Chain A
Amino acid sequence: MVSQKKKMSFEEALSGLEKSAEVLKKDGVTLEAAIQSFEQGMMYYNYCSEMLNSAKQKIETFGKKNE
């Protein structure tokens, strides 16, 4: 799970979060599946949230720093 987490893109995590919510809302979902979806959803949420809070923006102009 950890190695997979490192490689995951934001898009993947976001769609994972959306899918978890969707599965959870399905009719006739079992409690086990629901809890699993919930845990996965929270994992994706934490991942997205971490990314969205990692502000370390860099604005550079090509040719200016290397000369």
Chain B
Amino acid sequence: MAIKPVRVSQLNSYIKRVLQSDPLLGNVSVVGEISNLKYHGSGHIYFTLKDETSKISCFLPADAIKNIRYELSDGMEIIAVGYIYLYERGGSYSLNVRDITIEGFGNLSAAFDKLKEKLAKEGLFDEKYKKPIPLFPRKVAVITSETGAAVRDIVKIIKNRNNIVDVLIYPCLVQGPGAAAEISDAINSVNQLFPEVDTIIVGRGGGSMEELWAFNEEIVARSIFVSKIPVISAVGHETDFTISDFVADKRAETPTAAAQIAVPDIKALKEYIENEKDDLIHTIKRLVKYMELKVAGHSIEILTTNLNQRLSYYAMKTDNLDKELNNALVYRFGEWTACIEKYKIEIDSMNPANIMKRGYAAILDDQRILSGSVNRFGAGNSLTAVMNDGEIDCKVASIRRIEYGKSKKENEL
């Protein structure tokens, strides 16, 4: 027999009671692919979980999000753990999620890429935030599993290289659900309790992507980012890259490499400063020797030699000038001699003796004055005719005037 009609709210209330009292539905794990992922302003996350033929609405309350170790994205296959919840006013049910796990390389890679992109966008990987790793630390903190291979390797390498630096091992879980929170706490604690620590090494030895996952969680990345002490991230092997590596001040390929980066090799440093010291001594010795040579170069002997060299140089220069002057003078004399010879020939041609040789005579009066005119003489005067080879004393018999160059007729007038 059918029961009497009930109100909608009564029906929903009844269904809710049935659903939520079912032991299986109270704690169920569901495998499916995320779609319609929505981050609500209230901090809650809504999404749909689906397989090939069916789907279910899911609700991830804000206070459960901090337990989630993965960055979610559409298309990612997850295992959602929670309970079935009925929303009475809408008459719809959903999976109220408490925890999410992810398996498989593809899904983990998707979560990795999503977080990497998110933190990169926030600037957590920016070079400008990277702190330099101190060259000569006094104390190094190692945050890792106390029982793992990493801590042994790190301590061994540090002791081999350096017998001065103090090492603080800060044990924590490095894999499993609680690991990320412990690593994060450890980084924060070292900063608070041991501010004298110069460098933090955080990491672990090799393992699967799932085993290394704690170093891909946001909470660890944020602690590394806010650490005032420089952090070296050393997770797994050379080929393993984690979010911690990107946000750390320095990535070491392995824990062994981290130890090498964190502390200097004291033996090498000693050699280096010995070399520097030898260099100093060598240089100062060479400099002093050089200065000595320079001072010796200013001795009286050297100065005298220099001065003598100078003097002979100038003497030679003076000699040369003197020779040049002489040559010039000789040349000039030659010129003048030639000139004088020319005049001498001219003068010779004017010599009266030469004219006399040709038959002419010079007539001197009784005073022996050379006279060129008959006007100075009268009949009966004495005169002397000077000839080429002697003189003749004469008496003027008569005078005839003749002008040479005029006709006989004119002369007779």
Against A, the Cβ 8 Å flags (1 = close, 0 = not) of B160-174 are: 001111111111000
For the complex, is B291 an interface residue (Cβ under 8 Å from A)? yes
**B273-305: which have CB < 8 Å to A?**
273, 276-277, 279-281, 283-284, 287-288, 291
Question: How many angstroms between the C-alpha atoms of A35 and B284 in the bound complex?
Answer: 7
Shortest CB-to-CB span from B250 to chain A, Å, is 17
| Given A52-B273, A57-B164, A62-B169, CB of A11 within 8 Å of CB of B284 | no
Give the contacting residue for A60; candidates B164, B167, B276, B287; CB below 8 A.
B167
Which residue of B is nearest A57, CB measured?
Answer: B163
Is B219 located at the chain interface by the 8 A CB criterion? no
> Contacts of B283 on A, CB cut-off 8 Å?
21, 24-25, 38
Tell me whether A59 and B155 are in contact in the complex, defined as CB-CB below 8 angstroms, given that A52-B266, A52-B273, A54-B164 are known contacts: yes
Docked CA distance A27–B273 (Å): 23
User: A58: which B residues are within 8 A, CB to CB?
Assistant: 166-167
| A42 to B284 CA separation, bound complex (whole angstroms) | 11
Contact between chains at A56 and B164 (CB < 8 Å): yes
CB distance from B119 to the nearest CB of A (A): 28
Contact present for B269 and A59 (CB under 8 Å): no
For A62, list chain B residues within 8 Å (CB): 168-171
Q: Looking at the complex, which one of B134, B165, B169, B279 makes contact with A21 (CB distance below 8 Å)?
A: B279
Could you tell me which residues of chain A, from 43 to 67, have a CB within 8 Å of some CB in chain B? 45, 48-49, 51-52, 54-63
B370 to chain A, nearest CB (A): 94
**A52/B269 contact (C-beta < 8 A), A24-B287, A42-B277, A60-B167 known:** yes
A63 contacts B164, C-beta separation under 8 Å: no
Note all chain A residues with C-beta closer than 8 A to B162: 57
Q: Is the CB of A34 within 8 A of B287?
A: yes
Complex Cα–Cα for A31 and B279 (A): 17
Report chain A residues within 8 Å CB of B135.
10-11, 14
B136 at the binding interface (Cβ < 8 Å): yes
User: Which residue of chain B lies nearest to A56 when distances are taken between CB atoms in the complex?
Assistant: B164
**B270 near A: Cβ within 8 Å?**
yes
A42, closest chain B residue (CB): B280
Over the window 139-170 of chain B, the binary record of Cβ atoms lying under 8 Å from chain A Cβ atoms (1 yes, 0 no) is: 00000001000000001000100111111111
Contact (Cβ within 8 A) A31 B287: yes
Q: Which residues of A contact B (CB under 8 A)?
A: 9-11, 14, 17-18, 20-21, 24-25, 29, 31, 34-35, 38, 41-42, 45, 48-49, 51-52, 54-63
Give 29 CB contacts A-B under 8 Å.
A9-B136, A10-B135, A14-B135, A14-B136, A17-B277, A21-B276, A21-B279, A24-B280, A24-B287, A31-B288, A31-B291, A34-B287, A41-B277, A42-B277, A42-B280, A45-B277, A52-B269, A55-B163, A55-B164, A56-B164, A57-B165, A59-B159, A59-B166, A59-B169, A60-B166, A60-B168, A61-B170, A62-B170, A63-B171
- What 5 pairs across the A-B complex have the smallest Cβ distances? A10-B136, A55-B163, A61-B169, A59-B167, A38-B284
